[in-house]
A = this chain, B = another copy of it.
Amino acid sequence: MASIKDVAAEAGVSVATVSRVLNDHPSVSPAARATVLAAVETLGYRPNAVARSLRTDQTRTLGLVISDVLNPYFTELARSVEEEARALGYSVIIGNADERPELQDHHVRTLLDRRIDGLLVSPTDGSSPLMLDTARAGTPMVFVDRWIPGMDVPVVRADGRTAIHNLVTHLHTLGHRRLAIIAGPAATTTGSERVAAFREALQEYGLPLPDAYIGQGDFQAASGRRVTEEFLDLPEPPEVVFAADNLMALGALDAIRARGLRVPDDIALAAFDDIAWFVHTDPPITAIAQPTPELGRAAVRALVDRIEGRPPQSVTLPARLVVRQSCGEPVPPQPSPPPHSSPQRSNT
């Protein structure tokens, strides 16, 4: 592979001059520029990003550590992150933690070893010594979706409180009184916040949230299945199951179907995080939609601000309730439901 030396030789100039034209440095004569460019062309030269990074101490790369790529919410988040980063001249390397703290740390470490310019993370758990050290060491960092309380790091996230309140109102109106939730890990902010918001909303309606109606999930389908089975085995099963993410809703659906029960007649179901398939499930699922692409973009902008020396900004965007049929009261059939253009886009 041709190096800058080869180009210099071909063009009959020094490597310094080649470097200058490559970096659009102003003080290069038009003539020199032309010959260098010609040499670059004939050799098919491409600068070695590794060498450049070593020299300039910047990689123009962002690290993104998410808790689960297979979760459509995170896939969509990752996609918008990459898009915005590309628009700002950065690449992104994704690390999938699979909801496993050790794997999360592995990726953070690898990313740091590669000297990424900044780190975007949706932490798998409530605290990680490595994360603390990283922030303390001055690595530009921004939390997306989930965050670690007490750390002085900007947070970009959706607030689901109002939407959850609206959901409970919806459920209450439909006559449901025994509401249960499949929670995410209590160690994650989204895991605990959604339960808290749910509990608060229930309180406003004078509804209890007994421990038996708080199932401990881990944001994965299998846990949704397991918790739902436990709910159904209760002497007095809930009338509604609210899954704190779309994967656990999938598991809940599996469990309900396995028992030969029907939604919403036998039990109602709602989910946090909306996905395109929810329109076509049997029945269509009522869900809370996050402004995911906006979150991804805002997170990148905050991180790049931080990297480039501007003050980064925390951002909180509202989530919203999308009512469909899974909680009862069949909505009058719409002649033509608004189409969605991508599998993860929310509908309605």
Residues on A lying within 8 angstroms of B by beta carbon are 1, 44, 46-51, 53-54, 59, 69-72, 75-76, 78-79, 82, 86, 91, 93-94, 96, 106, 109-110, 112-115, 133, 137, 220-222, 225, 247, 250, 253-254, 257-258, 260, 276-277, 279-283, 333, 335-337, 339-344
Asked if A112 and B46 make an inter-chain contact with CB atoms under 8 angstroms apart, the answer reads yes
A177 to chain B, nearest CB (A): 26
Asked if B250 and A339 make an inter-chain contact with CB atoms under 8 angstroms apart, the answer reads no
Closest B residue, CB atoms, query A221: B343
Find A343's partner among B48, B94, B250, B341 (CB 8 Å cutoff): B250
Measured in the bound complex, the distance between the Cα atoms of B79 and A280 in whole Å is: 26
A264 to chain B, nearest CB (A): 13
A322 to chain B, nearest CB (A): 16
Closest B residue, CB atoms, query A114: B49
Cβ–Cβ < 8 Å partners of A53 in chain B: 50
Asked if B46 and A50 make an inter-chain contact with CB atoms under 8 angstroms apart, the answer reads no
Measured in the bound complex, the distance between the Cα atoms of B57 and A50 in whole Å is: 9
Measured in the bound complex, the distance between the Cα atoms of B114 and A70 in whole Å is: 26
Measured in the bound complex, the distance between the Cα atoms of B110 and A331 in whole Å is: 49
Cβ–Cβ < 8 Å partners of A257 in chain B: 279-280, 337
Measured in the bound complex, the distance between the Cα atoms of B1 and A262 in whole Å is: 59
Closest B residue, CB atoms, query A256: B280
Measured in the bound complex, the distance between the Cα atoms of B260 and A222 in whole Å is: 34
Cβ–Cβ < 8 Å partners of A78 in chain B: 69
